[in-house]
Amino acid sequence: MVKRNVGLCIVLSIITCGIYAIYWMIVLANDTNVASGHAQDGTSGGMVFLLTLVTCGIYGIYWAYKQGEKINEAKAMRNMPADSNSGILYLILELFGFGIVAYALMQNELNKLS
């Protein structure tokens, strides 16, 4: 896992009109799979992007919710306090069009884990 500067990721996502956000979603999925021990059986970042594209964003909403669960698993593996509502928060942010905020919160949690 790589620590990423959340502010820089947001700025790059805006400057590139969302292209960097796609890359960011892919690496978030892969990093979360590694952190939670689902590297072999978890959905890869490329597959997450493809399914989100094919389902017109519906899978992305589901993925955001599952990210919260996986991050909590990773925290539990490291004996860190877990927030059981993070998946719901990510889901609500995605539903209301604030996916970039959800990505920033996910990245912040992954930075704490690495």
The predicted-structure confidence for 66-76, as pLDDT tens digits, reads as follows 999 999 999 99
pLDDT tens, 24-48? Answer: 999 999 999 999 888 788 789 999 9
**Tokens 């799979």, located at residue:** 33
| Spacing of C-alpha 61 from chain mean position | 11
DSSP string computed for 15-73: HTTTHHHHHHHHHHHHHHHHHHT-TTTSPPHHHHHHHHHHTTTHHHHHHHHHHHHHHHH
pTM value is 0.91
